[in-house]
Amino acid sequence: MTPIANMSVYNDGMRKSMLDKIWFLDKIDGSISTIYDYGCADGSLLKMVGEICPSMKLDGYDISQEMIDIAKQNVPNADLLSTDPKSNLHNAVLNASSVFHEIHAYSPDVEWDYRNIFDSGAAYIAIRDMFYSKHSCHPTNPISLAKVLQRENPDKISEFEAFNGGVDQ
């Protein structure tokens, strides 16, 4: 997983696009009674889904026990795990939001993660993610760079740069 230096800065950033992240909610049918959030982080998405769909069972898995501890505070009614991902899901939507790129960057066993997701038995798998290619690397537009440096927390920029290289590219 990402080496996260400041968990609250990281989770504040993740929460910002929450409305986009629940894009799948109006696309699943009425038989779905469970949402299983794979890479649930601090549980913000589960919390929002629980508010919108109060009868939905809320399940979450994250490889980080630290995240799961925070999620348990945020969503006490959810079933949250950092080991033994669920299988044999029924009437469930599995959500994988911004997780595939982390699996590919850090997982010691990508196929194991893929099996956990695609062999979970979920009726729906909702994926939202982005990957970028080294071929698309070019100098950052100076105005965009200035906006990012002004807007973002320096810790977040350092964390990003430690893994991805300078934001000037």
Ligand X SMILES: C[S@@+](CC[C@H](N)C(=O)[O-])C[C@H]1O[C@@H](n2cnc3c(N)ncnc32)[C@H](O)[C@@H]1O
> In this chain, which of 97, 117, 120, 122 binds ligand X, going by CB under 6 A?
97
Report which of 35, 31, 25 is spatially closest to residue 89, judged by C-alpha positions: 35
Q: What is the rounded CA–CA span in Å between residue 24 and residue 18?
A: 12
Q: What is the rounded CA–CA span in Å between residue 88 and residue 72?
A: 23
> In this chain, which of 63, 80, 93, 126 binds ligand X, going by CB under 6 A?
63
94 is an interface residue for ligand X by CB under 6 A: no
CB closest to ligand X, residue no? 39
98 is an interface residue for ligand X by CB under 6 A: yes
Closer CB to ligand X, residue 32 or residue 86?
86
Q: What is the rounded CA–CA span in Å between residue 25 and residue 39?
A: 17
Considering only residues 1 to 20 of the shown chain, the ones binding ligand X according to CB under 6 A are: 1, 14
Q: Are 14 and 42 in contact (CB under 8 A)?
A: yes
Give the Cβ contact number of residue 145 at 10 Å: 15
- What phi, psi does 114 have (nearest 5°)? -60, -40
Considering only residues 25 to 44 of the shown chain, the ones binding ligand X according to CB under 6 A are: 39, 41
- Binding segment for ligand X among 50-58, 86-94, 100-108, 151-159 (CB under 6 A)? 100-108
* Cβ 11 to ligand X shortest distance, Å: 8
Closer CB to ligand X, residue 64 or residue 120?
64
The size of the interface with ligand X (CB under 6 A), counted in residues, is: 18
> In this chain, which of 22, 62, 86, 92 binds ligand X, going by CB under 6 A?
62
Rama region for 130: left / alpha / beta (φ>0; ψ in -120 to 50; rest): beta
* CA distances, 113 to each of 49, 86, 116, 140, 155 (Å): 24, 11, 5, 33, 29
157 is an interface residue for ligand X by CB under 6 A: no
Residues that bind ligand X (CB under 6 A): 1, 14, 21, 39, 41, 45, 62-64, 67, 97-99, 102-103, 106-107, 113
